[in-house]
């Protein structure tokens, strides 16, 4: 699995095209915390989701009183937004049109995405999500900027 984590002061996702509608409110938002773009690759399992969430949930990338990045999401009472992003597995080696053959099949990816969100909700009271497979618009204020790329094959 792959995740692009951005430390944010706020973020929101609006579901633009959600057929059939899953939620009457198409906009979900968080305050200070992490905006996580999450992709599942071919062969990924729940063990990969566990490994990735364990790393993300303990990242110490918030400033302490001395300006050092020593505080975790829990330390600052942070919030989480998770948005599915299969394009994290884009392969652009040949031609100009990305290939997505390295991404997980949609049904398996949906299950891994839901499981990852469950893990986040187990640990944090405020977890906003996108809608798997829907067209979405994401707005965020990257705090820092601070952006981290994680891949379970490299952890």
| Residue ranges with strand state E in 18-65 | 27-30, 33-39, 60-63
Active site residue 6: no
- Please tell me the distance from the alpha carbon of residue 130 to that of residue 37, in angstroms, as a whole number: 10
Q: Which of 22, 27, 87, 100 is catalytic?
A: 87
Q: Which of 6, 34, 85, 129 is catalytic?
A: 85
Q: Which of 6, 34, 62, 86 is catalytic?
A: 86
- Please tell me the distance from the alpha carbon of residue 102 to that of residue 122, in angstroms, as a whole number: 29
Active site residue 85: yes
Going by C-alpha positions, the residue among 101, 113, 94, 104 that lies closest to residue 53 is: 113
Which residues share a beta bridge with 15? 136
Joined together, the tokens standing for residue 55 give 């790393």
Active site residue 86: yes
- Positions marked active-site: 85-87
């Amino acid at each position: 699995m792959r995740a692009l984590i951005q430390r944010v002061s706020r973020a929101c996702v609006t579901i633009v095209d959600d057929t059939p509608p899953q939620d009457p409110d198409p906009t979900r938002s968080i305050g200070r915390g992490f905006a996580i773009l999450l992709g599942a690759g071919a062969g990924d399992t729940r063990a990969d989701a566990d490994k990735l969430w364990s790393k993300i949930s303990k990242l110490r990338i918030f400033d302490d009183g001395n300006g050092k990045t020593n505080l975790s999401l829990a330390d600052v009472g942070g919030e989480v937004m998770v948005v599915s992003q299969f394009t994290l597995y884009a392969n652009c080696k040949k031609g100009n049109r990305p290939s997505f053959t390295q991404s997980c099949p949609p049904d398996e990816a949906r299950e891994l995405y839901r499981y990852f969100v469950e893990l986040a909700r187990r640990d944090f009271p405020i977890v906003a999500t996108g809608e798997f497979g829907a067209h979405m618009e994401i707005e965020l204020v990257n705090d820092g900027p601070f952006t981290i790329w994680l891949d379970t094959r490299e952890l």
